[in-house]
Structure 1
Amino acid sequence: MMPVAYTRRHFVGLLGAGMLVSMVTPRVLRAGGQGSLARRPRPTQAQLAWQRDELALFVHFGINTFTDREWGDGTESPQLFNPSQLDARQWARAARAAGARAMILTAKHHDGFCLWPTATTRHSVVSSPWRNGQGDVVREFVDACRAEGLKAGVYCSPWDRHHPTYGDSPRYNDVYLAQLTELLTRYGPLNEVWIDGANGEGPNGKRQVYDWPRTWALVRRLQPGAVIFSDAGPDVRWIGNERGVAGETHWSTIRPESVPFIGAEGETVISALQEGHADGTVWRPGETDVSIRPGWFYHAAEDVRVRSVENLVELYFTSVGRNSKLLLNVPPTRDGVLHEVDVARLGGMRAALDALFARPARAVSSRWRATGARAGVLTVRFPSPQTVSVLDLGEAVEQGQRVERWTVHDATTGQRLASGTTIGMRQLRRISPLAVSAVRLTVETVDDVQPVTLRAYG
């Protein structure tokens, strides 16, 4: 057994020689003078749509749910898997009530147990008593998402502690891609394919060398509209922790050589994941994953340790409010439903957020002006003094991310209300409630200045 103190991030997934970053690194033209970028990296339509969803739910469910463990070792009997009341529609309804627009299911975790009937192994739902061996959790999950208007995604762990070919790299890579092919062809369009770099030993004591370029190419071919998550991308990057906290400075651009392979570790790597790079050469926004409970799978002992509504709201501000997307894990119980406490906290979070943004300050004028090649000011005036407690800033990231420093002042008194570094798609700040007649946002940018937005809420 691996020590439970480790997270799934601690195992290094190595790429083959010469396969590090060239496949996902576009050329960026540079201008002279101050070295500013003549053309900054920009998001694809899929990346834009993905981040605009703001909140997705992660669903960790599998054999670990029935063994009360976080990481299985691959020796578990499929007979243990028997959720008596599995209701994926209940998961999806709770997600929609929380304001989520997508969900991701752990179709296979490190133990190798597959939640769909697969031709690659008998270690799956077909060998379980659930639905008399005729069930398919992935099918029920995807159908529930679509019925509730949610996008569906899947997580298929590359580490497999059960399959006998794991560690025989060419053979297991074929197995893994066969599993992905089943998931990517049987269930219609998927929104996200989520892959981490877990790379521990298999049942034969060997470690695997994953073929990531081949994996990315398969996903691109079978699900061209999906974004691919991993520590290193190629579309979406990990935020560097599982605490729900993105960097206060957070560029959606990154230098891919700073995270050269999935599972890379070290302070420099974590800093790059947390903050990105102002001179990054690829667009790779951060996904901030965190669980509503201490663990990722359901444990009855944690029913009294579910995050509070106030804490969930704070996580929204430290993820979505820092130019990231929040991926919030909510694990089903052994019955196959989300626990009533978790459901209540999700609804409470949504109600609290709705209340925060329910009172927009109505502007009578909004004037943007460039004050230099790399600086600008936005002044927003209100018809009468408005009480403001939340500031909501944004860039037109379709044209790239450029703001490297910003400040908001009361335009009448000159009092500073908030300041920071990056903005990106969305920057949220809570301030002490204050009545103001006008606010002024000043920005400095790393490249040509472009208009920004500022909304205020009471």
Structure 2
Amino acid sequence: MFIHLNMATFEEREWGDPTLSPTLFDPKHLDTDQWARAAKSANMGYACLTTKHHDGFCLWPTKTGSANVMQSSYPHDVVRRYVDSFRKAGLGVCLYFSILDLRQDIRARTVTPEKIALIKAQIAELLTGYGPLTALILDGWNASWSRISYAELPYREIYDLVKSLQPDCLLTDHNAGSYPGTALYYTDIKQYEQHAGQKIPPDSPVPSQSGTTLQSDWFWKKAYPTSELASARTIVEDWLKPFNENHCNLILNVAPNRDGRFDDNAVARLAEIGRLWKNTGPAPKIGRSVTITTPDLAAGRPAWASASDEAVGPDQAFDDNFRSYWLADRGKEDAWIEVRFDEPVSFNTLSIVEPLHAEGYGDTSRIASYKVEVERDGGWVELVAGTKPAPYQFHEFQRTATRRVRLSVRGKQPGITELGLYDEPR
């Protein structure tokens, strides 16, 4: 269960207005026990509450100076009431936290060390004040609409903070639209926003969850008590069961109303879901996933190629953009791309991503074999190689240092959307 309750609940909006007074927040009959009972009735296993959405209002009494519940018309710790109710019901507890914060002016190109410190302080309050969390779900970061990059606000610093405070807390970022689905890029659990059209790829090999809504939007609207809801059969037959086959959980948003309770129609629909869906316990284990948590060292570096098709040069394989790609010259079956550094760069992980399904490329791999070489003592030394179709390949190895990295590919006019180099802590 996803639970979106915040300032937007009282504004008939999806993002709260950061200029409005916190006194507008007033769920005067808040009933988190009702939420938990409803989740249990649907046979859900865990829930997640929006502790701070994009406008920056905090549902807990933060000591950081940000607007929060103690300045509202409902001066109570909503996070505390939520975690207590769901734990009492035997449900797992997750929290949602937005990196984008319009009240504190934390947005693209305004990030400062002081603002990073504020984010860290708030996350530390949540991870030290409310017991063990199943997951912390982040949003408003590295998205096309927020534009706060992992370089401007370093991902690894936040990741290390979370793991230092709660090693077993999974860190999940809403970034699935930016990265291919075959590795965990900047997340422990792949987070798809189904409500925004993001789809789980067939045969997905990584643990993930897909978020959508029971009502029409994330936050409560005046029409909800009588509006149409997603059908229980759609939720179970079209979402839950197929998702589970792809190692993906459904996280279904139910929006509390302005009293802080679920509407009667939502409660009834959740019970109907529970009659159709019986949670059968943990799914079979899947293999270890490659996890990327550090910046791509090759991004933006000077690039060369054996040859390129028109207007698709090798720089597009090093631009940290999985929608652009380098394409070998037409008619060529052997080609290479190369990235160069001014000084030796150390890395221990690399990714080779072919632009499968990209416009103009097609749905079939064009790479029959590949090898990656590094320059050493004036010559080339093979680092990794493969002879199977390679739309997505990830390799981990002992840390190596070099000034030049070359990827050679063989196939029918092959292409590369990204050759990534990462120095992952181990």
Query: Shorter-chain-normalised TM-score: which range?
Result: 0.5 to 0.7
Which of 283, 290, 302 is residue 224 of structure 2 equivalent to?
A: 302
**Aligned-residue offset at 1:129:** 1.8
5+ unaligned residues in a row in structure 1: which ranges? 1-56, 254-284, 358-393, 402-445, 447-458
Structure 1 residue aligned with 2:190, among 229, 237, 244?
A: 237
**What displacement does 1:220 show?**
0.4
Structure 1 residue 83: Cα displacement: 0.8
Of 78, 93, 96, 1:152 maps to: 93
Decide whether aligned partners of structure 1 residues 201 and 168 sit closer, same or farther in structure 2, where only a CA change above 3 A counts: farther
Q: Using structure 1 for the length normalisation, give the TM-score.
A: 0.55
CA apart distance, 1:165: 6.0
Residue 127 of structure 1 is matched in structure 2 by: 71
Which is richer in helix? 1
Counterpart of 1:250 in structure 2 is 203
Contact 1:243 1:289 in 2 (8 A): no
Letter in 1 for 2:243: S
Q: CA deviation at 1:170?
A: 1.5
The Cα shift of 1:287 comes to 1.1
Q: Of the two structures, which has the highest relative contact order with CA contacts closer than 8 Å and spacing of 6 or more?
A: 1
Q: Does 1:193 align with 2:116?
A: no
Determine the structure 2 residue equivalent to 1:334. 258
Question: CA separation in 2, counterparts of 1:242 and 1:349?
Answer: 19
Cross-structure match for 2:276: 352
What is the CA distance between 1:212 and its match in structure 2? 1.0
Amino acid at match of 1:239: Y
Matching of residue 80 in structure 1 with residue 24 in structure 2 = yes
Contact 2:141/2:148 (8 A) holds in 1? no
Aligned equivalent of 1:116: 60
Distance in 2 (alpha carbons) for counterparts of 1:144 and 1:244: 32
The answer for the alignment partner of 2:80 in structure 1 is 139
CA contact 2:100–2:106 (8 Å) conserved in 1: no
Paired position in structure 1 for 2:165? 222
Judged with a 3 Å threshold, the aligned counterparts in structure 2 of structure 1 residues 216 and 200 are, in CA distance, closer, same or farther, namely: closer
In the other structure, the counterpart of 1:174 is 117
State how far apart, in whole Å, the 1-side matches of 2:90 and 2:11 are.
Answer: 32
SS at match of 2:51: strand
Quick one: structure 1 residues 346 and 173, their matched pair in 2 at CA, closer, same or farther if it must change by over 3 Å? Answer: same
AA aligned to 1:302 is: Y
Q: 1:325 to 1:226 in 2, by over 3 A?
A: same
Q: CA deviation at 1:206?
A: 10
**SS of residue in 2 equivalent to 1:129:** coil
RMSD of the TM alignment (CA)?
3.1
C-alpha distance in 2 between matches for 1:120 and 1:64: 22
Change (3 A) 1:240 1:77: closer
Structure 2 counterpart of 1:275: none
Match of 2:5 in 1: 61
Which residue of the partner structure matches residue 96 of structure 1? Answer: 40
Q: Deviations over 1:61-118 (max 9, x none)?
A: 0110011110123112111011121011110111111111111000000010000001
Conserved? CA contact 2:99–2:106, under 8 Å: no
Q: Deviations over 1:149-187 (max 9, x none)?
A: 111111110000001565232111110011000000001
Amino acid at match of 2:90: G
d(CA) in 2 for partners of 1:119 and 1:69? 27
Residue pair 2:205, 2:286 contacting (<8 A) in 1 also: no
Kindly provide the CA deviation profile for residues 122-158 of structure 1, in whole angstroms up to 9, marking residues without a partner as x: 411011121xx3x100000010111101111111100
